[in-house]
Amino acid sequence: MLVVVALGGNALLRRHEPLDAAHQRANVERAATSVAAVARAHDVVVTHGNGPQVGLLALQSEAAGGSAPMPLDVISAETEGMIGYVLEQELRRALPDTEVATVLTQVVVDPDDAAFASPTKPIGPVYSAADATRLARARGWAFSNDGDDWRRVVPSPRPSAVVELAAIEALRAAGIVVICAGGGGIPVVPAPGGGLQGVEAVVDKDHASALLARCLGADVLLLLTDVEGAFVDRGSSSEQVVRRADPASIRALPFPPGSMGPKVEAAAAFATRGGIAAIGALEDAARILRGEAGTTVTATADGVTLVPPRRN
């Protein structure tokens, strides 16, 4: 069975953790352990988010002074290399007899996508309301509420094609675990003189992972994050976790547009075409595949099944 495992940016760098290499390394080691548990039983392609990391590099670029800040497409490429490098090392430790390779991946987006006029993708660290207001005035950034905090948001156009798909397929056919489409991939559009050029955006990792899974003919799309599944009435006394749902039923439920919303939509889109999609916590990867944890979206489900959340 071919499983596309998508590691959320917040699973690789937890909320309110310092944005430093040591914390990222520790979290990537934990992620590699979960991915390895899946890879021992199935063929695996790994994707990952980059929301916290791309925001940090954007901040560093802004603070450098003396030159124009790096564009987001270049910063996305930097995060693909940075996170891919650490993931490769940790996966090689967890799977010593397996070859692992990172592919810098470009994804084609529509330059006329309405997302460019309506930023929704959170990047970077969390801020207080006062700091978010100050930065919005000083730098012209857009912000959105993220729980009790605020985060910068940028355009997130839908991906339509994976440029390096043939290379990814060739590596996978050779038995190599491929890390690709990091951070949703590097957003590109057709250039006026031919070829491709980058654009100022961050592609949603979940939509890019669903596109990749569909193009590869994957059996399962596994979206791993820092929560146990898709919650209904999140944060209230009546909150519940969706255990199983069909695509139409889960799409009818309300989810935050900048976080769980894209995961649910990506899962529903993949399941509509006959695959199985699941959302859940990084440490539950193997249990999610067995249907014992997380949220599973499949066309064979009937409506929505809700369960109480775990209480730690």
Residue found under tokens 């809700």: 306
Centre a 10 Å sphere on the Cβ of residue 211 and count the other Cβ atoms it contains. Answer: 26
| 50, 51, 121, 183: the active-site residue | 121
| 27, 205, 258, 280: the active-site residue | 205
CB 308 within 8 A of CB 293: no
| 9, 51, 84, 198: the active-site residue | 9
Catalytic residue at 49? no
- Nearest partner of 242 among 295, 278, 299, 291, judged by Cα: 295
d(CA 114, CA 117): 6
| 10, 124, 184, 198: the active-site residue | 10
Let me know how many helices (H) and strands (E) the chain has, helices first. 10, 17
User: DSSP per residue over 208-272, as a string?
Assistant: HHHHHHHHHT-SEEEEEESSSS-EESTTSTT-EEEEEE-HHHHHTS---TTTHHHHHHHHHHHHH
d(CA 258, CA 119): 9
Catalytic residue at 194? no
**Counting Cβ atoms within 10 Å, is residue 178 exposed (0-12), middle (13-18) or buried (19+)?**
buried
The alpha carbon of 19 is separated from its chain's Cα centroid by a whole number of angstroms, namely 18
Strands 196-198 and 231-232 turn out to be unpaired
> Is the torsion defined by CA of 92, 209, 212, 291 positive or negative?
positive
Catalytic residue at 263? yes
| 50, 263, 280, 294: the active-site residue | 263
Centre a 10 Å sphere on the Cβ of residue 68 and count the other Cβ atoms it contains. Answer: 8
The alpha carbon of 232 is separated from its chain's Cα centroid by a whole number of angstroms, namely 21
Instruction: Provide the annotated active-site residues.
Output: 9-10, 121, 205, 263
